[in-house]
Amino acid sequence: MKSKFPLVALIGKYQTVASGASGASSRNVLEDIAQFLHAQGCDVIFEHDTALNMGISGYPVLNLLAIGKQCDLALVVGGDGTMLGIGRQLAPFGVPLIGINQGRLGFITDIPLGSYRATLAPMLRGQFEEDHRSLIHARVLRDGHCVFDALAMNDVVVNRGATSGMVELRVEVDGHFVANQRADGLIIATPTGSTAYSLSAGGPILHPSIPGWVLVPIAPHTLSNRPIVLANATEIAIEVVAGRDASASFDTQSLASLLHGDRIVVTRSDHHVRFLHPKGWSYFDTLRQKLHWNEGVA
């Protein structure tokens, strides 16, 4: 049967690959996947930096902008961190993503590398589940001017400095004052990010279909400051009131240094990320496997 995706982009995790055996192994994996895709009737291109850093030749290459405009599918081989970065950049184009897990947890790169052939073959013929994930649009405002602008799939985190005490943060929702919080920081997480830093800080797990965010204080001074779930149609504003060397991070992959009076304004992005999963995929299966639920149960 003809592939539903005539042109497929292959994107690998190359940033931390050292020269030698590990680099050769990663290159072999990507070349094996490319050959498999060809056998399934797909034309294959490699993302430019993947091909350059892996030493892959013999295939057409495109940058991410061109992939977004031209490709029918992007296949990401790596871990969740790799997928976060690619997902944010391709979201405006609506390109569907499939993740092959070459990392550790694999909440959003959920196809095991060892079984990719059996799993991908029916997906390429149209047998898959589609899963849309929301994005956060965050801006840092200083004296009324935007000095930093970013998208996040997991979370926006406002943190205290590495060597300083707590920060004091004024929190507003849709222009209404909520509280001044003294804490090590504050997390605004999407449902996708609810299983990341937010979970470690005591936040709840949100199902991806819930149009919400979770606001989670990090080590709050007042123990009654608890996580709260908010509709993602709201605008959340966090103002730095006190504390030294505070910063804001966006999916941990981009960072902004903050001054007193800076406001981090968070709204829902107009874009979302399209993930494709094997037929029969369930979010609860992912939670059970990755969080080791039911271990020891007969």
Structure tokens at 253: 């992959």
Among residues 43, 49, 72, 80, which one is catalytic? Answer: 80
The H-or-E segment that residue 50 falls in is helix 48-54
> Rounded to an integer, what distance in angstroms lies between the CA atom of residue 25 and that of residue 50?
14
DSSP codes joined into one string, 185-245: EEEEE-TGGGGTHHHHTTPPP--TTS-EEEEEEES-SSTT---EEEETTS-EEEEEEE-SS
Look-up of token digits 């013999």? 58
Instruction: Specify burial of residue 230 (Cβ count, 10 A radius: 0-12, 13-18, 19+).
Output: middle
Instruction: Specify burial of residue 227 (Cβ count, 10 A radius: 0-12, 13-18, 19+).
Output: middle
Structure tokens at 298: 């007969």
> Rounded to an integer, what distance in angstroms lies between the CA atom of residue 110 and that of residue 174?
36
143 catalytically annotated: no
Structure tokens at 147: 């000095």
Nearest to 195 by CA among 100, 287, 295: 287
How many other C-beta atoms are found inside a 10 Å radius of the C-beta of residue 23? 15
Strand partners for 276: 130
Angle at 295 between CA 291 and CA 296, to 5 degrees: 165
Catalytic residues: 80
